[in-house]
Each structure stands twice: as C-alpha cells, then as structure tokens.
Amino acid sequence: MFEEDGKAQLILELRQGGVTDRRVIDVMERIPRELFVPEALREQAYENIALPIGLHQTVSQPLTVGLMTQSLDLTDRMKVLEIGTGSGFQSSVLSPLCRRLYTIERYRELSQGAEKRFADLRLSNITTRVGDGSLGWREQAPFERIIVTAAAHDIPPFLVEQLSIGGIMVLPVNDGRDENDQRLLKVTKTEEGIETEELGTTRFVPLVEGDEP
Ligand code: SAH
C-alpha cells in the first residue's frame, strides 16, 4: 500500500515540478521504479531522489527524468539515442514514447541488469550496447533525439554529428566551474549549426570517456 501512496505523491511532485505533458506523466505512473533500485532501497523507490545502483552510479531523480523526457518532445516515429543506461529507468520511460531506443552503457554489469528489466517489462523496442557513449552509435545514426544522463565537460562532438537536422539533444554539462553545479542544456541542430538553451541546473555522475576499466 505504501507504494501506491508514494506513487500518487510522486506524481503530484512531478506535476508541481513542471512535468505537464500527460504522456510523460502516464508513462511514469506505469513504470515500477522499485524494479530499478537495489532491494534494500525499495521503500524509497517513490521518493523524488536519486538512488545508488552500484558501481558508484545512480538512478536519476524522477523529476529530472520527467523534465528531460518532456523537453525531448518525442513522437512514436522517432529513433532515439540514450547515453548512460544505468538501471534502465530513464530508458523505460522513453521506450513507450518513441519508435526505437538505442542505449549505451559503459559498465557491462549495469547494461545486462537493465536488459533483463526491459525483457521483464516487455519493452521490446530497446537495443543496448556496452561501450563509450560519447562516441555515439555511428551505424544507427542519425537520431532525431539524443539524451545524455551523465555530465560531460562539453557538448560531445560525435553526438552533435549523429543528431538529425531539426533534432534535439538534452544533456547535463559540467564546464568545470563547480563540480556540483551542472547546466542542463537543450541543443537543437539546425542547417547552420546548433542552438543551445539552458533548462536549469542539475546534478549527474560524470560522463567518463574510454571503455570500462
Ligand atoms: N539513466 C540512468 C542513470 C544513469 S547514471 C538510469 O535511469 O538509471 C549515468 C550512467 O552513465 C552510469 O551508469 C555510468 O556508468 C554511465 N556512463 C558514464 N560515462 C559513460 C560513457 N562514456 N558511455 C556510456 N555510459 C556512461
């Protein structure tokens, strides 16, 4: 029962925090976040906080997931690239809102855990890969939308390259001024280059270049 109450409260917090898109709210209401956190933390699954998922990584705060998803303005015809699969929670929110999702994670263990959850939840339009997501996924490019769920120092150039014209990329950027103060950016690719809009400040684990240690 605590889960249902917690969920209703969380949905309220998402709305108050600015998640107004009905489709995003509907999906977040349906996805069981308790399946994406370690068993010992299940009671906190519907709190609006980031939670550890092992290997020093975290599943993002639900409000951040909601706002980033909403700012992608998805349709069910879009091909989407996600960098930083982690637990797979953000992927599970994106999956019902797009045509196909490609998601890259640096740690094999996390990628495999996420893949199992996608199968259990019958989310069949997600393809996973283990590797350095800052290089993108060249064979599948271009993507109409790209979401990065780890903070880079700059906008990764390969990802801009692999975004279609008119496409949107949402990502946290940590320009080094303050480790804990990252800017959430919405980048739109145009014929001439890119347009950047700042959505606010946020806090993500770092995007680490290179393969799994
Ligand atoms: N979206 C995730 C949250 C992920 S935390 C969720 O909903 O659970 C960020 C993830 O990015 C971590 O799992 C981390 O291992 C991964 N990561 C960091 N650098 C990366 C890189 N260069 N390529 C792919 N994944 C990366």
Question: What is the SS3 assignment for 32?
Answer: coil
Contact 143, 163 (CB under 8 A): yes
Q: Is 133 in the pocket of ligand 1 (CB under 6 A)?
A: yes
Q: Is the pLDDT of residue 33 over 70?
A: yes
Q: Which of 33, 1, 24, 3 is nearest to 170 (CA)?
A: 24
Q: Among the atoms of ligand 1, which is closest to the Cα of residue 36?
A: 8
Q: In which band, very low, low, confident or very high, does the pLDDT at 179 lie, cut at 50, 70 and 90? A: low
Place of tokens 């804990």: 180
Q: Is the pLDDT of residue 102 over 60?
A: yes
Residue nearest to atom 15 of ligand 1 (CA): 106
Q: Which amino acid is at 130?
A: V
User: What does residue 194 show for φ and ψ, rounded to 5 degrees?
Assistant: -130, 150
Question: What is the SS3 assignment for 187?
Answer: strand
pLDDT at 175: 81
pLDDT at 212: 73
Distance in Å, CA 42 to ligand 1 centroid: 21
Q: Is 111 a catalytic residue?
A: no
Q: Is 194 in the pocket of ligand 1 (CB under 6 A)?
A: no
Q: Among the atoms of ligand 1, which is closest to the Cα of residue 53?
A: 8
- Mean pLDDT on 129-150: 98
Q: Is 141 in the pocket of ligand 1 (CB under 6 A)?
A: no
Q: In which band, very low, low, confident or very high, does the pLDDT at 211 lie, cut at 50, 70 and 90? A: confident
Q: Is the pLDDT of residue 128 over 70?
A: yes
Q: How far is CA 143 from CA 30, 74, 136, in A?
A: 26, 12, 10
User: What does residue 78 show for φ and ψ, rounded to 5 degrees?
Assistant: -90, 145
Distance in Å, CA 84 to ligand 1 centroid: 3
User: What does residue 34 show for φ and ψ, rounded to 5 degrees?
Assistant: -60, -25
Pocket mutation for ligand 1, best pick of 205, 211, 212 (most atoms within 8 Å of C-beta): 205
What is the pTM assigned to this prediction? 0.96
Burial class (CB in 10 A: 0-12, 13-18, 19+), 132: middle
Options 3.40.630.10, 1.10.357.10, 1.10.760.10, 3.40.50.150; CATH for 62-202 is 3.40.50.150
pLDDT at 148: 98
Q: How far apart are CA 144 and CA 151, in angstroms?
A: 21
Distance in Å, CA 192 to ligand 1 centroid: 30
Contact 31, 120 (CB under 8 A): no
pLDDT at 154: 94
pLDDT at 181: 80
Q: How far is CA 195 from CA 72, 113, 178, 186, 198, in A?
A: 14, 36, 24, 8, 10
- Mean pLDDT on 11-28: 97
Q: Is 147 in the pocket of ligand 1 (CB under 6 A)?
A: no
Q: Is 132 in the pocket of ligand 1 (CB under 6 A)?
A: yes
Q: In which band, very low, low, confident or very high, does the pLDDT at 210 lie, cut at 50, 70 and 90? A: confident
Q: Where are the domains of the chain?
A: 62-202
